[in-house]
Amino acid sequence: MTLDGAPALSQAAEEGGSAGDRSVPVKPPPPPPSKRSGLGLLKGLPRRVLSVLSNLPLAITEMFAVAALMALGTIIDQGEAPDYYFQKYPEDNPVFGFFTWRWVLTLGFDRMFSSPVFLGTLALLGASLIACTYTTQIPVVKVAKRWSFLHSEAIRRQEYSDTLPRASLQDLGIILVGAGYEVFLKGPSLYAFKGLAGRFAPIGVHLALLLVMAGGTLSATGSFKGSVTVPQGLNFVIGDVLGPSGFLSTPSESFNTEVHVNRFYMDYYDSGEVSQFYSDLSLFDLNGKEVMRETISVNHPLRYGGITIYQTDWSLSALQVMKDDEGPYNLAMAPLKINGDKKLYGTFLPVGDANSPDVKGISMLARDLQSIVLYDQEGKFAGVRRPNSKLPIDIDGFKIVVIDAIGSTGLDIKTDPGVPIVYAGFGALMLTTCISFLSHSQIWALQDGTTLVIGGKTNRAKGEFPEEMNRLLDQVPEIVESSSSTQSDSFSG
Amino acid sequence: MIFSTLEHILTHISFSIVSIVITTHLITFLVDEIIKLYDSSEKGIIMTFFCITGLLVTRWIYSGHFPLSNLYESLIFLSWSFSLIHIVPYFKKNQNFLSTIIGPSAIFTQGFATSGLLTEIHESTILVPALQSEWLIMHVSMMILGYAALLCGSLLSVALLVIAVRKNRKFFFTSNHLLNLNGSFFFGEIEYMNERSNVLQNTSFFSPKNYYRSQFIQQLDYWSYRVISLGFIFLTIGILSGAVWANEAWGSYWSWDPKETWAFITWIVFSIYLHTRTNIKWKGTNSAIVASIGFLIIWICYFGVNLLGIGLHSYGSFTLTSN
């Protein structure tokens, strides 16, 4: 099909341009010398910029820089007040001899992941990705699709080559088909390949990365977020609690929805630890009609009109108590100690004159909605009551009944237009990364009389390829002259 | 009660088997090549695999959730992944020096997990609400499998560097000796000639010992590349499934949490490794240097961040108490 010149050309271009064996990036043709000055320089600029950006060592340096900046971002405490950095990196005693707070604040390292330095490096990496995909990898598509039959010298020069003295091309072709290769026969020549997707997949990886970056940029500039703590029984309007994140954020119609917390409750393990938080929410539109009612929990958010409501936090809002059958009094609870999910809230029921300076009263502490611990006026432990039991307790002569513990739910609300794009990028990235594990194997063969000359190469699985080839060639039947029938002895190479 | 004793027994059995396997490997390499011992050490690692599987299943049944909720369980899972990685090439009938790397790694992981440093998190505990999700299984298991594969691959690269450096120190000749090996099946010869353009290479004097050493280096290089590629796939899937889970649970698929950031840094370092391999001049020793850096980065990512105990991934945190 093709002449002697063609194999060398396609192979050389393959070596130069393939994603797997790039030794030198494909150089764009230099601008013609007659148009050197002025306009000519400008015309050649995009090409030169492209060739600079698609340089591999530059890309590796950029990746390394991004990694180093991120590492720095985890070491330096983020988001603190400037005073913190004055203390931690003082000028009169600099870390490593030179690193003071000036470095941190001028370069924006206190908000590293939104600082211009970091975002600029990321943008540069993105530009390199685009340039590299355009100049180096898309040509691979054209080149890798081109293939040709080889003559016997070229076949013998392959990485793996072998000769079978008494074998037929057709038998080899059948065996290769059985092993998953796509086989092409023309006259005495054979070409087979497998795993071509593995050569294209790196392009997919780069494109998926670009998609993720685009979606991430949209998320950073176009989303709304906010959080709110709502006691059970109260409402809030979604638009009131959301704040924009960037210049592309535009509010939508569903921002007018009102959310009503019907109930907030928790499930417990037998040991008393919290197993899950639940909020029963109702959504009402502008006309007061209920458009949605759902119970959310951690890991199961509510989605409505592009807005997502997450259950992220909780607190105790108030205790409802009766004192001597008077009340019910709603006592607001204050947080005493918060340690992640372990919280302690307390409240105080004054006894006697509430305005006197050393007022005494009954203290109540609670760790969750399950049980309230009560202390008398001297601060001594008095007892434990569960809110729903309605059992009275006698403290210092007063009959106290704990009617209810009212919790507040902590909700995070978000709208993010970039999420579908980012998810698509994630899916593509996972898929293409898996596919690029495949190795592109190519095999050529030539029937020279009764001898079969075979050669092959592969781009990734270089260690296993010879064994695989040996196993395949072992299966090629040997053609024996006597009785003119093909015996299916296994060939002893 | 039964379950905890069963757990105890299985932990100790797997620990002992791995110690025996390492001893037999040392004997094979240092003293004499005894094939029977080699075979028995292979079977030893398979037995370890089954023991740890039993351990994990026991914990799963006992606690009601997939055994990956704190550092101890993730360490057990890590040693399980190591033994899994060992078994796969064994069944493909490939020659296997991965076991020399895997054995000590598995034992160190197992030993550290069961040592007195971490007793407070040995018990199976309940899952906090944030961890009660189906994504837990996919995300954490992919991450640990990825760590295990990347650790193996980078250890192979470290071994490559050690051998290459020792080889170059011994044969410091500057003669340009061209090799003339015809009709060879093994790709190693061509790589041997390419090696001369490598940074650390000082053109070596041709000798049989040197030749076999180069073959060994090529094998190490190839296996390191394949194992790291596989680990990279797992790491990618792990990071991305973690991001999707974070979006479901906390509303943001990336919040620059220290653990997330360090996982991303690990991903970048290994993608630098994969890119250095595309350039023929940088293959071999240079990419091995990158992979060795990757080894340190993985430990920082896995352990270092947990020592800080901050951020959204604080489930894995622990304090080193001396008991």
A29: exposed, middle or buried (Cβ count in 10 Å: 0-12, 13-18, 19+): exposed
Q: Which percentage of chain B shows pLDDT scores above 90?
A: 11
Least confident of A35-44, A220-229, A456-465, B292-301: A35-44
Question: Rounded distance, CA A43 to CA A23, Å?
Answer: 28
3-class SS string, A211-255: HHHHHHHHHHHHCEEEEEEEECCCEEEHHHHCEECCCCCCCCHHH
**Alpha helices by DSSP H, A356-438:** 419-435
Torsion on CA atoms B93, B96, B99, B100, rounded to nearest 10? 170
- On chain B, the residues whose CB falls within 8 A of the CB of A159 are 187, 190
HSE toward the beta carbon, residue B247, CA cutoff 13 A: 20
Arithmetic mean of pLDDT, B169-198? 40
- Please report, for residues A289, B55, B262, B295, the alpha-carbon distance to residue B106 in angstroms, rounded to integers and kept in the order given: 61, 15, 23, 15
Residue window 115-144, chain B: list those with CB within 8 Å of chain A.
Answer: 126-130, 132-133, 135
| Cβ distance of B129 and A299 shorter than 8 Å | yes
Residue window 227-246, chain A: list those with CB within 8 Å of chain B.
Answer: none
One-letter amino acid at A91 equals E
- Position A133 scores a pLDDT of 84
**Other CB atoms within 10 Å distance of the CB of residue B152:** 25
Distance from CA of residue B144 to its chain's centroid? 10
- pLDDT band at B97, cuts 50/70/90? low
- On chain A, the residues whose CB falls within 8 A of the CB of B187 are 159-160, 462-463, 465-466
- On chain B, the residues whose CB falls within 8 A of the CB of A78 are 256
- Position B310 scores a pLDDT of 54
- Please report, for residues A12, A453, B52, the alpha-carbon distance to residue A446 in angstroms, rounded to integers and kept in the order given: 21, 5, 52
First to last CA, chain A: 30
Distance from CA of residue A136 to its chain's centroid? 26
Q: How confident is the model over B98-131, as pLDDT tens digits?
A: 666 666 776 677 667 666 555 555 666 667 777 7
Q: Which percentage of chain A shows pLDDT scores above 90?
A: 17
Question: Rounded distance, CA A18 to CA B279, Å?
Answer: 11
Q: What's the alpha-carbon Rg for chain B, to the nearest Å?
A: 22
* Structure token pair of residue A408: 């507040």
Q: How confident is the model over A274-316, as pLDDT tens digits?
A: 888 899 999 998 888 899 999 998 888 999 888 899 988 888 8
The answer to whether A228 and A462 have CB atoms below 8 angstroms apart is no
- Please report, for residues A264, B7, B48, B53, the alpha-carbon distance to residue B2 in angstroms, rounded to integers and kept in the order given: 39, 9, 21, 17
- On chain A, the residues whose CB falls within 8 A of the CB of B249 are 298-299, 310
**Other CB atoms within 10 Å distance of the CB of residue A130:** 17
- Please report, for residues A273, A450, B269, the alpha-carbon distance to residue A117 in angstroms, rounded to integers and kept in the order given: 45, 67, 20
**Alpha helices by DSSP H, A82-148:** 82-88, 101-106, 116-132, 138-145
Q: Which of A56, A70, A74 would best serve as a mutation to test chain B binding (most B beta carbons within 10 A)? A: A74
- On chain B, the residues whose CB falls within 8 A of the CB of A312 are 250-251
- On chain A, the residues whose CB falls within 8 A of the CB of B281 are 23
**Other CB atoms within 10 Å distance of the CB of residue A469:** 20
- Position A340 scores a pLDDT of 66
Q: Which of A433, A440, A471 would best serve as a mutation to test chain B binding (most B beta carbons within 10 A)? A: A433
Least confident of A214-223, A444-453, B73-82: B73-82
Q: How confident is the model over B216-234, as pLDDT tens digits?
A: 788 888 888 888 999 999 9
CB of A290 within 8 Å of a chain B CB? The answer is no
Please give the residue of chain B at the shortest CA–CA distance from A432.
Answer: B233
Of A253-257, B250-254, B261-265, which one has max mean pLDDT? B261-265
Residue window 92-111, chain B: list those with CB within 8 Å of chain A.
Answer: 94
Closest CA to A55 of A10, A21, A15, A22: A22
3-class SS string, chain B: CHHHHHHHHHHHHHHHHHHHHHHHHHHHHHCCCCHHHHHHHHHHHHHHHHHHHHHHHHHHHHHCCCCCCCHHHHHHHHHHHHHHHHHHHHHCCCCCCHHHHHHHHHHHHHHHHHCHHHHHHCCCCCCCHHHCCCHHHHHHHHHHHHHHHHHHHHHHHHHHHHHHHHHHHHCCCCCCCCCCCCCCCCCHHHHHHHHHHCCCCCCCCCCHHHHHHHHHHHHHHHHHHHHHHHHHHHHHHHHHHHHHHHHHHHCCCCCCCHHHHHHHHHHHHHHHHHHHCCCCCCCCHHHHHHHHHHHHHHHHHHHHHHHHCCCCCHHHCCCCCCC
- When CB atoms are compared, the residue of A59, A301, A422 closest to B248 is A301
Q: Which of B181, B256, B283 would best serve as a mutation to test chain A binding (most A beta carbons within 10 A)? A: B256
Of A154-163, A209-218, A450-459, B129-138, which one has max mean pLDDT? A209-218
| Cβ distance of B236 and A422 shorter than 8 Å | no
CB of B249 within 8 Å of a chain A CB? The answer is yes
Residue A134 C-alpha, separation from nearest chain B C-alpha, in angstroms: 17
CB of A153 within 8 Å of a chain B CB? The answer is no
Would the pLDDT of A183 be above 80? yes
Least confident of A48-62, A185-199, A444-458, B164-178: B164-178
For chain B, the average pLDDT equals 73
The answer to whether A390 and A399 have CB atoms below 8 angstroms apart is no
* Structure token pair of residue B65: 């959730």
- When CB atoms are compared, the residue of B186, B269, B278 closest to A22 is B278
Q: Which of B63, B93, B254 would best serve as a mutation to test chain A binding (most A beta carbons within 10 A)? A: B254
Higher-confidence position of B282 and A348:
A348
- Position B199 scores a pLDDT of 38
Residue B241 C-alpha, separation from nearest chain A C-alpha, in angstroms: 9
Type and span of the H or E element at A159 = none
CB of A298 within 8 Å of a chain B CB? The answer is yes
CB of A265 within 8 Å of a chain B CB? The answer is no
The answer to whether A250 and A223 have CB atoms below 8 angstroms apart is no
Burial A176-189 (b: 16+ CB within 10 A, else e): beebebebebeebb
Please give the residue of chain A at the shortest CA–CA distance from B223.
Answer: A463
Please give the residue of chain A at the shortest CA–CA distance from B240.
Answer: A426
Higher-confidence position of B305 and A362:
A362
CB of B250 within 8 Å of a chain A CB? The answer is yes
Residue B197 C-alpha, separation from nearest chain A C-alpha, in angstroms: 13
One-letter amino acid at B59 equals R
Arithmetic mean of pLDDT, A179-184? 91
Arithmetic mean of pLDDT, A352-367? 82
- pLDDT band at B54, cuts 50/70/90? confident
| Cβ distance of A56 and B230 shorter than 8 Å | no
Question: Rounded distance, CA A155 to CA B186, Å?
Answer: 16
Task: Give backbone dihedrals phi and psi of A9, rounded to 5 degrees, phi first.
Answer: -65, -50
- On chain B, the residues whose CB falls within 8 A of the CB of A433 are 232-233, 236-237
- Listing DSSP states for A263-301 in one string gives EEEEEE-TTS-EEEEEEEEEEE-TTS-EEEEEEEETTB-
Question: Rounded distance, CA A279 to CA A296, Å?
Answer: 5
Q: How confident is the model over B8-50, as pLDDT tens digits?
A: 777 777 777 777 777 777 776 666 666 666 677 777 777 878 8
Would the pLDDT of B251 be above 90? no
Please give the residue of chain A at the shortest CA–CA distance from B191.
Answer: A159
- pLDDT band at B173, cuts 50/70/90? very low
- On chain B, the residues whose CB falls within 8 A of the CB of A59 are 275
- Position B174 scores a pLDDT of 32
- pLDDT band at B237, cuts 50/70/90? very high
- When CB atoms are compared, the residue of B94, B225, B256 closest to A113 is B256
Higher-confidence position of A258 and B306:
A258
Would the pLDDT of B309 be above 80? no
CB under 8 Å to A317, separation ≥6 — which residues? Answer: A231, A232, A332, A333, A406, A407, A408
CB of B255 within 8 Å of a chain A CB? The answer is no
The answer to whether A480 and A487 have CB atoms below 8 angstroms apart is yes
- pLDDT band at A212, cuts 50/70/90? very high
B269-275, long-range: CB < 8 A, 24+ apart: B269/A67, B269/B293, B269/B294, B269/B297, B270/B150, B270/B228, B270/B231, B270/B232, B270/B235, B270/B294, B271/A63, B271/B232, B272/A60, B272/A63, B272/A64, B273/B228, B274/B228, B274/B229, B274/B232, B275/A56, B275/A59, B275/A60, B275/A63
Least confident of A415-424, B83-92, B253-262: B83-92
- Position B184 scores a pLDDT of 31
